[in-house]
């Protein structure tokens, strides 16, 4: 298991949610697979799903449209995916090493959660992780114009917490999120070793 620590230079902490604080990868996969089977009669493979992990919903649907070689109805596909996801969230589990670290430092350093998910889904995930009230700020898809891998969400977190980007430490699990944090000029800890890689 990965040993996590706070960099001595860190003056603020930023955490992704999906795959970082809550082990939701398999739930997201099942939700997208069910949505594409239901609406498009298409069976999404784990390998195909892994290629879109970490992107915002707009980018995910765009990439799925390219995969299926036809335009997908964004609103309908996201509504169905989120409905499938919410019904399956009972199986979500907190990623204990990361949750423990956040809990230990909440109140000692500013903490912001920054996700590409919609706020409603982010709040469900926060509840599943047992983290209600254990952070200072939450940024979701609705709060930025450009989702990850653009650094906007991390730069906005830095602004909200009143800390320069170089003094912010980000905890992320996806290559897309890690790229966004590095582009923001922040310290980055890859926590992907803490989560399950099983999609079935």
55 vs 60: CA distance, rounded Å: 6
- H-helix or E-strand spanning residue 22: strand 22-23
CA-CA distance, 157 to 151, in Å (whole number)? 10
How far apart, in Å, are the Cα atoms of 120 and each of 124, 150, 174, 180? 7, 22, 21, 22
Give CB contacts under 8 A, 24+ apart, made by 184-193: 184/151, 184/154, 184/155, 184/158, 185/151, 186/14, 186/154, 186/158, 187/7, 187/9, 187/10, 189/4, 191/2, 191/4, 191/20, 191/95, 191/97, 191/98, 192/19, 193/1, 193/2
CA nearest to 123, candidates 17, 13, 194, 4: 17
Catalytic pick among 7, 16, 104, 136: 16
- The answer to whether residue 16 is catalytic is yes
Strand intervals (E) in 26-120: 93-94, 111-114
Q: List residues with catalytic annotation.
A: 16
């Amino acid at each position: 298991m990965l040993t996590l620590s706070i960099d001595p230079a860190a003056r603020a902490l930023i955490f992704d949610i999906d795959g970082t604080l809550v082990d939701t990868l398999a739930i997201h996969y099942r939700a997208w697979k069910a949505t594409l089977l239901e609406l498009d009669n298409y069976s999404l493979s784990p390998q195909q799903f892994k290629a879109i992990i970490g992107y915002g919903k707009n980018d995910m649907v765009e990439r799925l449209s390219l995969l299926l070689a036809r335009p997908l109805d964004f609103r309908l596909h996201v509504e169905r995916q989120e409905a499938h996801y919410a019904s399956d969230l009972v199986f979500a589990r907190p990623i204990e090493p990361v949750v423990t670290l956040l809990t230990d430092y909440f109140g000692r350093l500013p903490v912001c959660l920054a996700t590409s998910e919609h706020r409603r889904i982010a709040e469900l995930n926060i509840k599943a992780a047992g983290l209600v009230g254990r952070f200072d700020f939450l940024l979701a898809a609705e709060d930025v114009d450009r989702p990850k891998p653009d650094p906007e969400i991390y730069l906005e977190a830095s602004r909200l917490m009143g800390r320069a980007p170089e003094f912010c430490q980000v905890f992320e699990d996806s290559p897309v999120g890690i790229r966004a944090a590095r582009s923001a000029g922040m310290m980055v800890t890859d926590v992907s070793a803490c989560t399950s890689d099983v999609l079935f």
